[in-house]
Amino acid sequence: MMLGKTQNIIRALGRRIAAWRGRHLVSFVDEDPEQVESGKIYVIGEGGHPWYAAMACPCGCGETLKLAMIEGSRPRWSFVRHWDDTVSLKPSVWRKVGCKSHFWVRDGRIDWC
Ligand SMILES: [Zn+2]
């Protein structure tokens, strides 16, 4: 029980540092977020099964990007949640329309292609 508490404190500290460094933090929700805040990656799903992720396009164009994670979808993204609640996404995100942004999310950081 003590260990769980310590882990929570470390995670909370990690989140603060990551946010301060401008990293994207994961937020688990069970329905489509009404407002998508920049700097957050929402993972929408139920019972530990992610359906899709949503995030504001990091270029600032104002679009909300939705990334399918459900089995059978193509392309299908997967994510890794790190100790400080930052995430890495695979594969890269490449918008074919609009701003045509192409980037990776690694450790909550946007790596432009
Ligand atoms: Zn954009």
pLDDT higher than 90, residue 2: no
Q: Work out the pLDDT band at 9, boundaries 50, 70, 90.
A: very high
CA of 71 to the centre of ligand 1 (A): 26
CA of 102 to the centre of ligand 1 (A): 9
CA of 95 to the centre of ligand 1 (A): 8
Domain of 84? 2-112
Q: Work out the pLDDT band at 4, boundaries 50, 70, 90.
A: confident
CA of 8 to the centre of ligand 1 (A): 34
- Rounded distance, CA 94 to CA 84, Å? 26
DSSP string covering 85-99: SBEEEES-EE-SSTT
Number of domains in the chain: 1
Q: Tens digit of pLDDT for each residue in 27-80?
A: 999 999 999 999 999 999 998 899 999 999 999 999 999 999 999 999 999 999
